[in-house]
Structure 1
Amino acid sequence: MTPVETPLAEAGVFAGIRPDHLALLAGCARHAVFPAGALLLREGDPADTLYLVRQGTVAIEMFVPARGSVPLETVGAGSVVGWSWMFAPYRVHFDARARSLVRADALDGACLRGRFAQDPALGYDVLSHLAQVLIERLQATRMRLLDVYGNPDRG
Protein backbone atom coordinates (compact mmCIF):
# COMPACT_ATOMS: atom_id res chain seq x y z
CA MET A 1 0.00 0.00 0.00
CA THR A 2 1.10 3.56 -0.66
CA PRO A 3 1.55 5.95 2.30
CA VAL A 4 -1.89 7.56 1.72
CA GLU A 5 -3.68 4.23 1.19
CA THR A 6 -2.67 2.98 4.63
CA PRO A 7 -4.41 5.74 6.67
CA LEU A 8 -7.44 5.55 4.36
CA ALA A 9 -7.69 1.82 4.99
CA GLU A 10 -7.40 2.33 8.74
CA ALA A 11 -10.17 4.94 8.91
CA GLY A 12 -13.47 3.63 10.20
CA VAL A 13 -15.39 5.43 7.47
CA PHE A 14 -13.69 3.35 4.78
CA ALA A 15 -13.58 0.05 6.67
CA GLY A 16 -14.52 -2.76 4.34
CA ILE A 17 -14.05 -0.81 1.13
CA ARG A 18 -12.67 -2.86 -1.75
CA PRO A 19 -8.85 -2.72 -1.98
CA ASP A 20 -8.92 -1.65 -5.64
CA HIS A 21 -11.29 1.17 -4.73
CA LEU A 22 -9.02 2.19 -1.88
CA ALA A 23 -6.14 2.48 -4.35
CA LEU A 24 -8.26 4.71 -6.61
CA LEU A 25 -9.14 6.94 -3.64
CA ALA A 26 -5.49 7.20 -2.66
CA GLY A 27 -4.74 8.52 -6.14
CA CYS A 28 -6.92 11.56 -5.31
CA ALA A 29 -5.38 12.14 -1.88
CA ARG A 30 -2.57 14.16 -0.39
CA HIS A 31 -1.45 14.79 3.18
CA ALA A 32 -2.48 18.07 4.83
CA VAL A 33 -1.54 19.70 8.14
CA PHE A 34 -3.42 22.53 9.87
CA PRO A 35 -2.24 24.35 13.02
CA ALA A 36 -4.75 24.99 15.79
CA GLY A 37 -7.13 27.78 14.77
CA ALA A 38 -6.65 27.33 11.01
CA LEU A 39 -9.65 26.95 8.73
CA LEU A 40 -9.89 23.75 6.72
CA LEU A 41 -13.09 24.99 5.06
CA ARG A 42 -14.73 28.41 4.86
CA GLU A 43 -18.44 28.89 4.22
CA GLY A 44 -19.09 30.12 0.69
CA ASP A 45 -15.74 29.00 -0.73
CA PRO A 46 -15.57 26.48 -3.57
CA ALA A 47 -16.07 22.97 -2.19
CA ASP A 48 -13.30 20.84 -3.57
CA THR A 49 -11.97 18.68 -0.74
CA LEU A 50 -13.01 15.84 1.54
CA TYR A 51 -10.79 15.67 4.62
CA LEU A 52 -10.19 12.47 6.53
CA VAL A 53 -8.95 13.55 9.95
CA ARG A 54 -6.06 11.35 11.11
CA GLN A 55 -5.03 13.37 14.19
CA GLY A 56 -6.53 16.27 16.12
CA THR A 57 -10.00 17.75 16.36
CA VAL A 58 -12.02 19.89 13.98
CA ALA A 59 -14.97 22.11 14.93
CA ILE A 60 -17.77 22.46 12.39
CA GLU A 61 -18.98 26.04 12.83
CA MET A 62 -21.70 28.36 11.58
CA PHE A 63 -21.55 32.14 11.62
CA VAL A 64 -24.46 33.67 13.54
CA PRO A 65 -24.91 37.45 13.45
CA ALA A 66 -24.34 39.05 16.85
CA ARG A 67 -22.81 35.80 18.14
CA GLY A 68 -19.97 35.11 15.72
CA SER A 69 -18.81 31.58 14.95
CA VAL A 70 -20.89 28.99 16.77
CA PRO A 71 -19.58 25.41 16.96
CA LEU A 72 -22.16 22.87 15.84
CA GLU A 73 -20.09 19.73 16.22
CA THR A 74 -16.53 18.66 16.94
CA VAL A 75 -15.03 15.64 15.21
CA GLY A 76 -11.76 13.81 15.71
CA ALA A 77 -9.47 11.19 14.26
CA GLY A 78 -11.18 8.84 11.83
CA SER A 79 -13.91 11.35 10.95
CA VAL A 80 -14.50 13.05 7.64
CA VAL A 81 -15.10 16.75 7.05
CA GLY A 82 -16.37 18.42 3.89
CA TRP A 83 -19.34 16.96 2.02
CA SER A 84 -20.16 19.79 -0.35
CA TRP A 85 -17.80 18.60 -3.11
CA MET A 86 -20.45 15.94 -3.85
CA PHE A 87 -23.28 18.33 -4.67
CA ALA A 88 -23.57 21.15 -7.21
CA PRO A 89 -23.01 24.06 -6.99
CA TYR A 90 -19.98 22.77 -4.99
CA ARG A 91 -19.87 25.50 -2.34
CA VAL A 92 -18.91 25.03 1.32
CA HIS A 93 -21.87 25.38 3.71
CA PHE A 94 -20.05 25.59 7.08
CA ASP A 95 -16.67 26.59 8.43
CA ALA A 96 -14.38 23.81 9.65
CA ARG A 97 -11.69 24.98 12.10
CA ALA A 98 -8.78 23.03 13.58
CA ARG A 99 -9.19 22.98 17.36
CA SER A 100 -5.75 21.43 17.74
CA LEU A 101 -2.98 20.46 15.35
CA VAL A 102 -4.76 18.50 12.61
CA ARG A 103 -3.17 15.98 10.30
CA ALA A 104 -5.52 14.85 7.55
CA ASP A 105 -5.72 13.23 4.18
CA ALA A 106 -7.22 15.68 1.69
CA LEU A 107 -9.12 13.99 -1.13
CA ASP A 108 -9.65 16.14 -4.21
CA GLY A 109 -13.39 16.41 -4.92
CA ALA A 110 -13.07 16.91 -8.69
CA CYS A 111 -10.78 13.89 -8.88
CA LEU A 112 -13.28 11.81 -6.90
CA ARG A 113 -16.24 12.89 -9.05
CA GLY A 114 -14.27 12.04 -12.18
CA ARG A 115 -13.36 8.59 -10.89
CA PHE A 116 -16.97 7.97 -9.82
CA ALA A 117 -18.13 8.87 -13.34
CA GLN A 118 -15.62 6.44 -14.85
CA ASP A 119 -16.35 3.68 -12.33
CA PRO A 120 -19.90 3.82 -10.92
CA ALA A 121 -19.17 0.84 -8.64
CA LEU A 122 -16.42 2.91 -7.00
CA GLY A 123 -18.84 5.81 -6.54
CA TYR A 124 -21.46 3.55 -5.00
CA ASP A 125 -18.93 1.90 -2.69
CA VAL A 126 -17.50 5.20 -1.42
CA LEU A 127 -20.79 7.09 -1.20
CA SER A 128 -22.50 4.27 0.68
CA HIS A 129 -19.71 4.46 3.29
CA LEU A 130 -19.97 8.26 3.48
CA ALA A 131 -23.78 8.13 3.66
CA GLN A 132 -23.52 6.09 6.86
CA VAL A 133 -21.53 8.90 8.45
CA LEU A 134 -24.08 11.46 7.24
CA ILE A 135 -26.89 9.47 8.83
CA GLU A 136 -25.04 9.27 12.13
CA ARG A 137 -24.38 13.03 12.11
CA LEU A 138 -27.99 13.83 11.25
CA GLN A 139 -29.19 11.63 14.11
CA ALA A 140 -26.76 13.34 16.50
CA THR A 141 -28.02 16.73 15.33
CA ARG A 142 -31.59 15.59 15.87
CA MET A 143 -30.77 14.61 19.45
CA ARG A 144 -29.10 17.99 20.10
CA LEU A 145 -32.17 19.78 18.72
CA LEU A 146 -34.42 17.74 20.98
CA ASP A 147 -32.31 18.86 23.93
CA VAL A 148 -32.64 22.51 22.88
CA TYR A 149 -36.22 22.59 21.57
CA GLY A 150 -37.78 19.62 23.36
CA ASN A 151 -41.35 19.79 24.60
CA PRO A 152 -41.71 21.93 27.71
CA ASP A 153 -42.96 20.19 30.81
CA ARG A 154 -46.72 20.41 30.67
CA GLY A 155 -47.15 19.38 34.33
Structure 2
Amino acid sequence: MTSATTMNAALEPVYRERLMRLAREVSFDAGARLFEEGGRADRFWIVRTGTVGLDLHVPGRRPDPIETLGHGELIGWSWHFPPYLWQLGAEAMSPVRAWEFDAEAVRALCDEDPEFGRAVAVWVGLVVAQRLHASRVRLLDLYAPYGSGDLT
Protein backbone atom coordinates (compact mmCIF):
# COMPACT_ATOMS: atom_id res chain seq x y z
CA MET A 1 0.00 0.00 0.00
CA THR A 2 1.29 3.44 -0.78
CA SER A 3 1.97 5.82 2.06
CA ALA A 4 -0.77 8.13 0.73
CA THR A 5 -3.43 5.69 1.91
CA THR A 6 -2.30 5.39 5.54
CA MET A 7 -4.30 7.43 8.03
CA ASN A 8 -1.28 9.58 8.99
CA ALA A 9 -0.61 10.53 5.37
CA ALA A 10 -4.23 10.86 4.25
CA LEU A 11 -5.78 12.83 7.12
CA GLU A 12 -4.70 16.20 8.46
CA PRO A 13 -3.67 16.13 12.15
CA VAL A 14 -6.90 17.79 13.31
CA TYR A 15 -8.98 15.08 11.57
CA ARG A 16 -6.73 12.25 12.80
CA GLU A 17 -7.13 13.54 16.34
CA ARG A 18 -10.92 13.73 15.97
CA LEU A 19 -11.06 10.19 14.59
CA MET A 20 -8.75 8.79 17.26
CA ARG A 21 -11.10 10.02 20.00
CA LEU A 22 -13.41 7.21 18.86
CA ALA A 23 -10.73 4.49 18.86
CA ARG A 24 -10.42 1.60 21.23
CA GLU A 25 -7.49 -0.80 21.47
CA VAL A 26 -8.07 -4.41 20.41
CA SER A 27 -5.91 -7.43 19.67
CA PHE A 28 -6.29 -10.57 17.57
CA ASP A 29 -4.40 -13.86 17.73
CA ALA A 30 -2.77 -15.20 14.57
CA GLY A 31 -5.44 -17.02 12.56
CA ALA A 32 -8.37 -15.02 13.98
CA ARG A 33 -10.94 -13.94 11.39
CA LEU A 34 -11.76 -10.24 11.66
CA PHE A 35 -14.67 -10.51 9.25
CA GLU A 36 -16.14 -12.63 6.48
CA GLU A 37 -17.13 -11.54 3.00
CA GLY A 38 -20.85 -10.68 2.94
CA GLY A 39 -21.07 -10.05 6.70
CA ARG A 40 -22.28 -6.81 8.30
CA ALA A 41 -19.58 -4.10 8.16
CA ASP A 42 -20.15 -2.30 11.46
CA ARG A 43 -16.55 -1.44 12.38
CA PHE A 44 -13.08 -0.94 10.97
CA TRP A 45 -9.49 -1.03 12.22
CA ILE A 46 -6.13 0.65 11.83
CA VAL A 47 -3.26 -1.77 12.36
CA ARG A 48 -0.79 -0.86 15.10
CA THR A 49 1.35 -4.02 14.97
CA GLY A 50 1.18 -7.29 13.05
CA THR A 51 -0.27 -8.15 9.68
CA VAL A 52 -3.77 -8.83 8.36
CA GLY A 53 -4.48 -10.69 5.14
CA LEU A 54 -7.41 -9.76 2.93
CA ASP A 55 -8.95 -12.63 1.01
CA LEU A 56 -11.64 -13.44 -1.53
CA HIS A 57 -14.11 -16.31 -1.13
CA VAL A 58 -13.94 -18.83 -3.96
CA PRO A 59 -16.63 -21.57 -3.74
CA GLY A 60 -15.15 -24.99 -3.01
CA ARG A 61 -11.72 -23.60 -2.08
CA ARG A 62 -10.00 -21.86 0.77
CA PRO A 63 -10.22 -18.06 0.51
CA ASP A 64 -7.65 -16.72 -1.95
CA PRO A 65 -5.28 -14.13 -0.48
CA ILE A 66 -5.49 -10.71 -2.13
CA GLU A 67 -3.28 -8.45 -0.05
CA THR A 68 -1.42 -8.25 3.26
CA LEU A 69 -1.74 -5.09 5.35
CA GLY A 70 0.36 -3.83 8.25
CA HIS A 71 1.23 -0.88 10.45
CA GLY A 72 -0.89 2.23 9.91
CA GLU A 73 -3.14 0.67 7.30
CA LEU A 74 -6.93 0.67 7.22
CA ILE A 75 -8.64 -2.70 7.58
CA GLY A 76 -12.11 -2.46 6.11
CA TRP A 77 -13.77 0.15 3.92
CA SER A 78 -17.18 -1.44 3.42
CA TRP A 79 -18.46 0.29 6.59
CA HIS A 80 -18.42 3.56 4.62
CA PHE A 81 -20.76 2.54 1.78
CA PRO A 82 -24.33 1.18 1.94
CA PRO A 83 -25.40 -1.58 2.28
CA TYR A 84 -22.45 -1.89 4.75
CA LEU A 85 -21.47 -5.46 3.85
CA TRP A 86 -17.89 -6.71 3.71
CA GLN A 87 -16.59 -7.10 0.17
CA LEU A 88 -13.63 -9.29 1.23
CA GLY A 89 -12.64 -11.38 4.24
CA ALA A 90 -9.81 -10.63 6.67
CA GLU A 91 -7.60 -12.79 8.87
CA ALA A 92 -4.81 -11.98 11.31
CA MET A 93 -1.63 -13.42 9.79
CA SER A 94 0.32 -12.77 13.00
CA PRO A 95 -0.69 -11.44 16.40
CA VAL A 96 -2.29 -8.06 15.70
CA ARG A 97 -2.83 -4.99 17.82
CA ALA A 98 -5.13 -2.41 16.28
CA TRP A 99 -7.32 0.59 16.87
CA GLU A 100 -10.98 -0.34 16.39
CA PHE A 101 -13.68 2.15 15.37
CA ASP A 102 -17.45 1.87 15.53
CA ALA A 103 -18.65 2.59 11.99
CA GLU A 104 -21.94 4.17 13.01
CA ALA A 105 -20.19 6.62 15.36
CA VAL A 106 -17.68 7.60 12.65
CA ARG A 107 -20.43 8.05 10.05
CA ALA A 108 -22.35 10.26 12.52
CA LEU A 109 -19.25 12.40 13.07
CA CYS A 110 -18.82 12.67 9.29
CA ASP A 111 -22.44 13.87 9.00
CA GLU A 112 -21.97 16.44 11.78
CA ASP A 113 -18.80 17.91 10.25
CA PRO A 114 -18.84 17.93 6.43
CA GLU A 115 -15.14 18.87 6.15
CA PHE A 116 -14.18 15.95 8.37
CA GLY A 117 -16.56 13.74 6.40
CA ARG A 118 -14.97 14.78 3.11
CA ALA A 119 -11.49 14.08 4.45
CA VAL A 120 -12.54 10.60 5.61
CA ALA A 121 -14.30 9.94 2.29
CA VAL A 122 -11.17 10.88 0.30
CA TRP A 123 -9.02 8.67 2.54
CA VAL A 124 -11.39 5.70 2.20
CA GLY A 125 -11.68 6.32 -1.55
CA LEU A 126 -7.89 6.14 -1.93
CA VAL A 127 -7.89 2.86 -0.02
CA VAL A 128 -10.69 1.42 -2.18
CA ALA A 129 -8.83 2.36 -5.37
CA GLN A 130 -5.63 0.75 -4.11
CA ARG A 131 -7.46 -2.42 -3.01
CA LEU A 132 -9.23 -2.68 -6.37
CA HIS A 133 -5.86 -2.55 -8.13
CA ALA A 134 -4.36 -5.16 -5.78
CA SER A 135 -7.39 -7.45 -6.27
CA ARG A 136 -7.16 -7.13 -10.03
CA VAL A 137 -3.46 -8.00 -10.07
CA ARG A 138 -3.98 -10.97 -7.74
CA LEU A 139 -6.92 -12.33 -9.76
CA LEU A 140 -4.89 -12.06 -12.96
CA ASP A 141 -2.08 -13.97 -11.23
CA LEU A 142 -4.52 -16.69 -10.22
CA TYR A 143 -6.68 -17.03 -13.32
CA ALA A 144 -5.09 -15.45 -16.40
CA PRO A 145 -3.29 -17.85 -18.76
CA TYR A 146 0.10 -16.18 -18.32
CA GLY A 147 -0.33 -14.31 -15.04
CA SER A 148 -0.52 -10.60 -14.61
CA GLY A 149 2.98 -9.50 -15.33
CA ASP A 150 3.67 -6.00 -14.06
CA LEU A 151 0.63 -3.74 -14.49
CA THR A 152 2.19 -0.67 -12.92
Normalised by the shorter chain, which TM-score bucket? 0.7 to 0.9
Could you tell me which of 132, 136, 140 is aligned with 2:130? 136
2:107 matches 1:113: yes
- Which residue pairs with 1:101 in the alignment? 95
TM-score, normalised by the number of residues in structure 1? 0.80
TM-score, normalised by the number of residues in structure 2? 0.81
1:117, distance to aligned residue in structure 2 (A): 0.5
CA contact (8 A) 2:50 2:71 kept: yes
2:63 matches 1:48: no
| Structure 1 residues 20 and 40: alpha-carbon distance in aligned structure 2, compared to 1, 3 A threshold | same
2:8 matches 1:23: no
1:42, distance to aligned residue in structure 2 (A): 2.0
- Which residue pairs with 2:27 in the alignment? 33
1:19-60 per-position Cα deviation (integer Å, ceiling 9, x unaligned): 332222012211110000101112232211121111111111
1:82, distance to aligned residue in structure 2 (A): 0.9
Aligned counterparts of 1:28 and 1:73: Cα–Cα separation in 2: 27
Aligned counterparts of 1:69 and 1:150: Cα–Cα separation in 2: 20
| Structure 1 residues 146 and 71: alpha-carbon distance in aligned structure 2, compared to 1, 3 A threshold | closer
| Structure 1 residues 75 and 89: alpha-carbon distance in aligned structure 2, compared to 1, 3 A threshold | same
CA contact (8 A) 2:29 2:96 kept: yes
CA contact (8 A) 1:13 1:133 kept: no
Number of matched pairs: 142
Aligned counterparts of 1:41 and 1:18: Cα–Cα separation in 2: 29
Letter in 1 for 2:27: V
Superposition RMSD in Å? 2.2
Secondary structure in structure 1 of the residue aligned to 2:110 = helix
| Structure 1 residues 42 and 110: alpha-carbon distance in aligned structure 2, compared to 1, 3 A threshold | same
Structure 2 residue ranges without an equivalent (≥5) = 148-152
| Structure 1 residues 63 and 136: alpha-carbon distance in aligned structure 2, compared to 1, 3 A threshold | closer
